[in-house]
Structures are given as structure tokens and as C-alpha cells.
Structure 1
Amino acid sequence: MAAEFEFDVCIIGGAGHVGFPLAVAFATRGLRVCIYDINQGAVDQITAGRAPFLEPGVQAPLEAALADGTLVAGADPGLVSRSEHVVVVVGTPVDQHLSPDPEAVPRALGALLDRLRPGQLVVLRSTVFPGVTRRVEQLVASVHPDLDLAFCPERIAEGHAMTELFSLPQIVAARTARATARASALFGTLTGSIIEMEPEEAELAKLFTNAWRYIKFAAANQYFMIANDLGLDFARIREAMMQDYPRTADLPGAGFAAGPCLFKDTMQLASVTGGAFALGHSAMLVNEGLPDYLVKRMEQRHDLFSQTVGILGMAFKAESDDRRSSLSYRLKRVLAFRAQRVLTTDPYVTDDPELVPLEQVLAEADVLVIGAPHAQYADLVTDLPVVDVWDLRGNGSLT
């Protein structure tokens, strides 16, 4: 670390799902790390030694880093000025018209321009709209021409951060050899595999990755609907397709394709193409339409108008407490119009006051739907009918 800097790394937005595990990971490598985040509640949790959300494997290294002083957290923007490397992790949402906000990252960094100092390396970690890196380069250079800047997109999956940060190759993209070398050295403390790209290549690589996963999930969900409408079990068909046959080894099962990234980044690509990304739009219609499809099928088998439906799991994925963009909530809205009553439960989600205990759902519901495939639902003992598009319980996915 340069002598004039107190910290090796500052993570802007470091209390979130991307920034927090990255901060802890850097601290485990002996770097002195500070988290800057405007969410004072999350900062207070981290300072008290509690992870602000569920992320397996993060608690012990968090406590160790706090104890030995390699990690601090605060809401003071002055932390940025005291750090040699500044990693920017800012959410990049799409609006109600499915349009991305390409100014989200430039706007956030622009508010901190007066905090940047000569000799720093600024790293963009957020998934960005193509061209944003160049936009930020111009913004920073207009005030600090002596700063280095790189785009190093995150590649982790929630729930696997503390293994994947150390095992997956890291993409490093910068315009200059010096910035490339500095970013490679920084992330080389975590992984021995660095992939160098041009910034525009790296921007598309990240968006293509998430859109590819989203499209694969859409294919599986479309297959499920086709099989289901013919009275056949997609889970059984999929198992036969995959058995000892490598060409279909990556075929996902059916289920809600949701969360804060896949849908959003697919829509970012649609915006890049001026609305000509037909494959992405088709995937969106399939995945976002799955809750509606399930309710229509349920109406054919159950008198929903006079029944209570229980949704098991409101997080967007299994063993997670993150309910951002969860399709379980779309399912809840559709059922609220079609059923007499809807009850929801989740063993991990803590920020939804409408959730009720599992025992109440089992006692009062007439039919159950597995919204998030948490492991504890696999062996749930119940005589109630269960809609299980995931085939979590091993009884098939036919609805």
C-alpha cells in the first residue's frame, strides 16, 4: 500500500450483496479494507460483527477481520480519500418501462469526485450498460487526469461468494497497461486466474453471461409448459434426456427465474439493440409468465375462489433471504385476485411483515405452492396438495 493511503481498498456500496463479500474476501488476504455505504443500518450490523444478509461462509472471516483491524465500515465518504483502490459497487436497475439507467454509476461516482485523490485506482464492479466505462473514464479524467480506472465485473452467485471469489477467473478490463496491471494485481490477491479484455468486451461479456442463463431457464420453463399441457411430467422427461448424455447436461429444471440480475441484464441487452433482442424478450415473457401459467393450471384442479393458498418460500432462490425481484411475489399478486386468501412463509426472509409461520400455513391452507425451493420443504410432511414446479419433493413437476 502506498504510504500516503491508510487503506488498501475502499468498497463503495460495500454493505450490499456484491460489495460486502468482496470486502471480507480482500480482508482475508491481509489487505486493509474499508466499506463505505450510505445504509447506516447495514454499516452498524457489520461493525457489530453481523452479516447484513445471508451469505454462507462469511461470518467467521468477518469476525476475524474486525478483530484484527483489517476491515472497518462507515457511512463517511471521507473513507474514499483514504484508500489506494476504490471499488464502485452500485445497483443498476431498469425502470417500469424495462429501460436501464446508464447514468446510475456515473451519477454515484460523480457525487464523490471531490473525494478522489492522485494515485488511486478506481474499479467499476457493477454490471453496466455498454459504454458506461468510457463515460466514467471521461468523467473522471475531466477532474482527475492522473487516476487509473478499470472495469472488473463481479461474477459470483449469491450464496457462493466466499468460494467463487477465490476460484473463478477474474475479468480485468482497462484502457491502459498501468491500469490493467494494477487491477490484475489487486484481484490477483484473490484468484490466480486473470482474463484481460477491452472494457467494451467485458461489458458485453457480463451481460451475455446473465442473459444466457436467463434464456436457458426460459427454455426449461417453456419445455415444462409444453409437457404439462400434454399431461406429461417434464421432470421425468428431463431426467431421461440428461442420463449419461453430455449434450443436455446443462439443461436446467423448471422454476422461477428471478432475482436482481438475470431479468435486468437481459433487458439491458434489449435496450442496447434498440428493442431488437427478440430472444431476450421471448425469454422474459416465458419466465415472467410462469406464475400466471401455474395459477391457470391450479384453477383447473382447485376451486381457488373458495380456498386458501399457501406459498412456501418468498426469496428469489433456494437457501437465500433475498426477495428482490422474486417471482413468488408475482405469484402472490395473481393468486390474491383468484383465490379466497393467500398466506406466505419463508424461513430466511426477515423483511416482509406479511409472512406467517409455516405451521399457520399448513393449518389454514387448502393447497400449497413451492415458491422458493428451500431444502426444508423437500421432506415436509403434509396431506395437502402441493404444486411443485421445481420437482423439489421428487414427486414430479406435473401440475
Structure 2
Amino acid sequence: MRAHQFSRDAVIVGGCGRVGLPLGIALASRGLSVTLYDINAAAVATVNDGVMPFDEEGAAPLLTEVVGAGRLVATTDPASVGTAEHVVVVVGTPVDEHLNPDLGAVPRALERCADHLVAGQLVILRSTVYPGVTALTEKLLASLGAGVDVAFCPERIAEGKALTELFDLPQIVSARTPDVVGRAEKFFRNLTDQIVPLEPEEAELAKLFTNTWRYIKFATANQFWMMANDFGLDFARIRHAITFDYPRAADLPMPGFAAGPCLFKDTMQLAAFNRNNFVLGHSAMLINEGLPLYLVSRLEDSYDLSSMTVGILGMAFKGGSDDPRESLAYKLRKILSLKARETLCTDPHVKDERFVPLDDVLAKADLLVIACPHQEYTALDTQTPVVDMWGLTGQGVRV
């Protein structure tokens, strides 16, 4: 009965972003009809032209295919929310300048289109949310008399790998009743047969624990690197010895800027949830967020920065990405702007009129710092000193 009420299978609120668009493409590639509702008119127009508004491996040809077939359309019209049985919400959930989570981001997104919700729909929260936001959303929609079911099914993808991981990774689904869990499970079985059911609060914590665990692992590697570095030792050699054919240490990462729109933010959400009693998470924040300052301090020990032009290579938050959100390369630039004679930035993926071509940076810089491990920097043709804490160039990571 539900399926006959609607002209589309799914509508994705916030659908032209880095989470919603890959999901829409994946669902449409499996034969579903999907509408992307987004308030960004430029992104909507780009998607309807069959063009990706950002880089995502394997997405461009699939987007052209599903848009051409009419299975994927984008719109700024909130009325589109009423056309599909499944309403998937993927809006961002930031923390504010005081590191407090924004509990209202998801409810506000739904309030903008609540008048168009239809009884019998399944609203699927896909955003990473503060524990309790699912319950808050349920109360909001009940108070509005929407007559919809609510499920929380967190996204788990890594940028750049979405169209592999959406099909390969298990999907976590959660809701209050077995019937609603079953509805969500049926929907995500369009992507994968691996479904993990949880209670909503369990699922909310599962996503925060996952991102926080990664953030803490990066902080551990960064602290180890600083320890070794302060004693003139090469962490890359030590790490190789630790991880070589030794599975219990295989997940020890290399050092580097732990950045992006998720890990820091979700660690702070978890801290807030636990009444800011999260010494481990706050310590990880101090290590990771303090890394640019540590790096510049080490450079000052070896170089007269005030007389030098420093080139920053890579401004994205991770290698191979065109996403600069929350990239610590910008914090590095800010610090160097106070210390160096001149600071030049370049990136092969991020478009910014303030950046200069790599060749110009190589020609003008007295010192180079790899701030993002793009593969383009693995074989730099330069005699200029290169600071590489990532181990990208294979020359060690001492600074």
C-alpha cells in the first residue's frame, strides 16, 4: 500500500552534498528513482547537468548514467519531500565555536519541509548526531502530526571511497520498533545484504565511537612522532619495525594532520554527551590541533623563517581529496604568516584563487612543507628542503 502512494522511491534532504549525492547515485544505480532536495541552487543545477560538483572516485560516469535515465533528479523545491516513501536526511551537524554540538541541525532541516511530509513515510536520519537527537526528532514529528516512522541509519563512508563502501560495508539500522527496523533494513538491502540492527541510542554512540576511535589513533601516532622527533629519531623507521608482520600493531598510522569535517567534531560531540568528562578525547584534540604549532616550532629551531619563503603543499584535509573543510593546513598557513617572510599555498585538487601553481611554489620557496599527502608530491623534482611528516617521499619523517 505504501509504495503505491508515491511517485519516487527516495528523496534525500541535503542530497547534493558529499554524503547525500553518492548515496543517491548508489541507490539510482540499483534501479531506484531518487530525488535530491537541496537548498544549494548551484549544486542542484550542476547535478542535473550530469556533472559532479566535487571529486568522488567512480561517481562521474554513474551520475551521467542515472541522470540521463531519469532515475536521479535534483531540486530546490521542498514539495519534493512528499513524493517518496523514504525521506533520507543527510544535513551537516557541526559544533559551535565553544565546541558545543548543534542539536537542532536535523530538526531544523525537517521543519523546513515538514508541511510536505506524508503519513506513512519512513524518515531515515543519516547524519552523525548527538545522542538523543533521534528521540528529539521523533518528538518533533509526532508533535506536528506527521504520521511518519523514524529510523537512524548512520553513514559510514570515507570520502573518495563512497561508491565502493556503500556496497561493501555493513549498514547499521536502528528504530524503536521491529516493524520500522524492518522497513529501514529493506531499504538498505538495495545496497548490501549486511545489516546490523541496534537501538537508536546505541547506533548514535556507535557512529561517534567509530570516528572518535580514529581521531584518538591519529593522536597517538602524532604523539609518538613528536616523542621520537624530539630525541632526533625517525618515527617512520620505528613504526616499520613495530608493524612489520606484526598484526597487533598493524593499525598504527603514520603521523599527519588529523582533520576534516568529522573526526574532531564528533570527538567533541562525544565529550559533550559525557558531560565533558572525556580526558582521552580532549587530550587527542590538544595533540592533533596543536600539531601545526609544534611543526612550526621545530622549523624555527632549524631555519630563520623570517627571511624565508615557505611553500605549503596541499590544502585539502586528506590526500587525493578536493575537500578543504577543517583542514589543518589553513592553521599552518596562519601560523607561518606570522613567522615567515612569505607563505605560498598550492593544491592540485582544491580550487582557490589565493593558491599558486606548484611550479611557481617550487621556484620561489626556500622551504617546502607537505601539509596534505597528495600522491602528486611523492616524487618532487626540487633541491629545496622538504618537510614531510607523512613519510610520503620515503626520506624519513624527522623535522
TM-score tier by shorter-chain length is over 0.9
- Alpha-carbon distance between aligned partners in 2 of 1:107 and 1:12, rounded to the nearest angstrom: 12
Deviations 1:340-396 (A, max 9, x none): 11000000001x221110011011110000011000100111100001000100000
Aligned to 1:205: 206
Q: Which residue of 1 aligns with 2:375?
A: 375
- Matched ranges for 1:81-160 at <5 A: 81-144=82-145, 146-160=147-161
| SS of 2:353 mapped into structure 1 | coil
Distance 1:124 1:117 in 2: 16
CA distance in 1, matches of 2:293, 2:398: 16
Q: 1:262-281 counterparts in 2 under 5 A?
A: 262-281=263-282
Structure 1 partner of 2:196: 195
1:334 aligns with 2:332: no
Equivalent in the alignment of 2:37: 36
Contact 1:117–1:144 under 8 Å retained in 2: no
Who is 1:366 aligned against? 366
Equivalents in 2 of 1:289, 1:310: separation in Å?
20
> 2:389 maps to what in 1?
389
The answer to whether 1:239 aligns with 2:260 is: no
Aligned mates of 1:274, 1:342 — CA distance in 2: 40
Q: Tell me what 1:315 maps to.
A: 316
Task: Report if aligned partners of 1:148, 1:178 keep a CA contact under 8 Å in 2.
Answer: no
User: Could you tell me which residue of structure 2 aligns to residue 291 of structure 1?
Assistant: 292
- 1:298 Cα deviation (Å)? 0.6
Structure 1 residue 6: deviation in Å? Answer: 1.1
Larger mean CA deviation between 103-112 and 231-240 belongs to 103-112
The amino acid across from 2:209 in the alignment is: F
Residue equivalent to 1:260: 261
For 1:216-235, what aligned pairs fall within 5 Å after superposition?
216-235=217-236
Alpha-carbon offset, residue 145 of structure 1 = 5.4
Residue 349 of structure 1 aligns to which amino acid in structure 2?
A: V
Counterpart CA distance in 2 for 1:104 and 1:74 is 20
Counterpart of 1:217, as a letter, is F
State the Cα distance separating 1:144 from its structure 2 match: 3.1
Deviation at 1:301, TM superposition (A): 1.0
Q: Given residue 216 of structure 2, which amino acid in structure 1 is its aligned partner?
A: I
Kept in 1, the 8 Å contact 2:185–2:195? The answer is: yes
Gaps of 5+ in 2: none
Q: Are 1:20 and 2:21 counterparts?
A: yes
* Matched AA of 1:364: K
Distance in 1 (CA, whole Å) between partners of 2:106 and 2:97 is 19
Are the equivalent residues in 1 in contact too, given 2:118–2:146 (CA < 8 A)? Answer: no
Task: Give the letter for the 1:196 counterpart.
Answer: P
SS for the counterpart of 2:226 is helix
- 3-state DSSP class of the match of 1:332? helix
Q: Does the aligned pair in 2 maintain the 1:315–1:324 contact within 8 Å?
A: yes
State the distance in 1 between where 2:78 and 2:148 align.
18
Contact kept, 8 Å, 1:211 with 1:280, in 2: the verdict is: yes
1:13 and 1:36 in contact (8 A); partners too: yes
Q: Which amino acid is the alignment partner of residue 381 of structure 1?
A: D
Match of 1:348 in 2: 349
Give how far 1:91 is off. Answer: 0.6
Alignment-mate amino acid for residue 374 of structure 2 = H
- Check whether the contact 2:14–2:38 (CA below 8 A) recurs between aligned residues: yes
In structure 2, the residue corresponding to 1:3 is in which secondary structure? Answer: helix
1:172: which partner in 2? Answer: 173
**1:45-60 mapped onto 2 (5 Å cutoff):** 45-60=46-61
Q: Conserved in 1, the CA contact under 8 Å of 2:50 and 2:68? A: no
Distance 1:72 1:199 in 2: 30
Aligned 8 A contact 2:315 2:329 in 1: yes
Q: Secondary structure at the match of 1:389?
A: coil
Q: What amino acid sits opposite 1:297 in the alignment? A: R
What corresponds to 1:398 in structure 2? Answer: 398
Which range moved further: 197-206 or 113-122? Answer: 113-122
Aligned-partner residue type, residue 207 of structure 1: L
- Which letter maps to 1:103? G
The CA deviation string for residues 209-268 of structure 1, in whole angstroms up to 9 with x for no partner, is 000000000000000000000000001100010011111000000000000000000000
Name the CA distance, whole Å, in 1 between partners of 2:317 and 2:343.
Answer: 18
What do the CA deviations read for 1:137-176 (whole angstroms, capped 9, x no partner)? 0111122353111000000000100000000000000001
**TM-score, L = length of structure 2:** 0.99
Question: Is the contact between residue 79 and residue 113 of structure 2 (CA under 8 Å) also seen in structure 1?
Answer: no
State the superposition RMSD in angstroms: 0.8
> SS at the partner of 2:4?
coil
How many pairs are equivalent?
398
Superimposed CA distance per residue, residues 159-209 of structure 1 (whole angstroms, 9 cap, x where no aligned partner): 100000000000000001221111000001001100000000000000000
Question: Is the 2:66–2:72 contact (alpha carbons within 8 Å) kept by the matching residues of 1?
Answer: yes
